[in-house]
Each structure stands twice: as C-alpha cells, then as structure tokens.
Amino acid sequence: MNIEKELAARSGSKCEMCAAEANLNVYEVSPETSAKPDNCILLCETCNQQIDNPEIADANHWRCLNDSMWSQVPAVQVMAWRMLNRLNKEDWTHDLLDMMYLDEDGLTWAKAAGDGRAPEDITVHKDCNGVILLSGDTVTLTKDLVIKGATFAGKRGTSVRNITLVHDNPEQIEGRVNGQIIVILTKFVKKTV
C-alpha cells in the first residue's frame, strides 16, 4: 500500500488539519526526510499553501486546530503545535497551546522547524549567496575542498543531495560526497533550485 492510501485510510480521506475532503496531498513534516506514514500527514491544498507560506495564513481557517490538536497521530500534533505558534498574535491560539500536550520527542520534533522560539534563538543556515538552506535541500560545492581523513577531495561543482543541518552551528551542514558523510562549511556551497 502506498503512503497516500495509508494516510487516506488513517484520516478517512480528509485533511488531517481541517477535515476538507478535496485536493488532498501527502505532506512530509520536516525535518523528517523519510517518506513514511508516521512522518507525513494528509493535507488539503489550502492548508498546504498556508503552511508553506506563513505570510498568507488565514487565522480563521486555522480555528480547525481546536480539533486537530487532539489527534493521536504525532505528525498531526506537531503540525498543529507549529501552526498555533505561527499564529501567536491571535488570543485564541494561546489558550489552545496552554491545553495542548506533546511528549518530549514530539516537542523536540515540533521545535526543530524554529516555531515557538525567539527569532534570535533560531539557527539559520545560508549558502554563499545568502539563500536559506533547509534539511533535504540539494547544494553544489563552489570550491574544491580537501576532506580531512578521506582519500578524496570534494570537487567544485559536485552536487550534494539531501543535506542535513548542523543544528547548533549555522556555518555547517552535513552531506554525502563519494558515499561518505562529511561536514561542509555553508560558505562553500550554493543551493540548487
């Protein structure tokens, strides 16, 4: 059974955030990068667009979080927590956050996207051109790199797929080059669009 069918069975073929029944798609809840049902939710087009573009989020649409925050699915709980934090200018979101419970793993997962933290506490990774990098992005090396402890060099122009961010250092990412996971300085990579 593919992921979309599993999620449709789990959710009753409804958006797991607002219960809409049309235009449903699988959404991977970052920073998880493996497309497994436990890491994904089924979203309608409206929820998907507003999650990916917080500046267009309609607070009234998200009143549905009053129901979805009680889901037994950790990925749904994580996304509900994130959206409540993104809409923190609304009084009603504070009440829901006070009632909501996430276990320690769920809270760590929810906070991994930067929601619920002060802007100065968020680690932002940027490439050599100042473009923000996210886990799972593909980057290209902008210079030949000598790799300590390896028998090869990272050649300029090498594509590094599915990067991982080093959460406590905004100047470092991890990626696989020649089959080996290495730490790369962000000033030597360019995000591939």
What is the per-residue pLDDT across 103-119, written as a single tens digit (0 to 9) for each?
Answer: 998 888 988 876 654 44
The helix/strand/coil state of 68 is helix
pTM, entire model: 0.59
Tokens of 179: 């089959």
Cα 77 to Cα 79: distance, rounded to the nearest angstrom:
6
The helix/strand/coil state of 30 is coil
Cα 85 to Cα 99: distance, rounded to the nearest angstrom:
13
> What is the model's pLDDT at position 116?
54
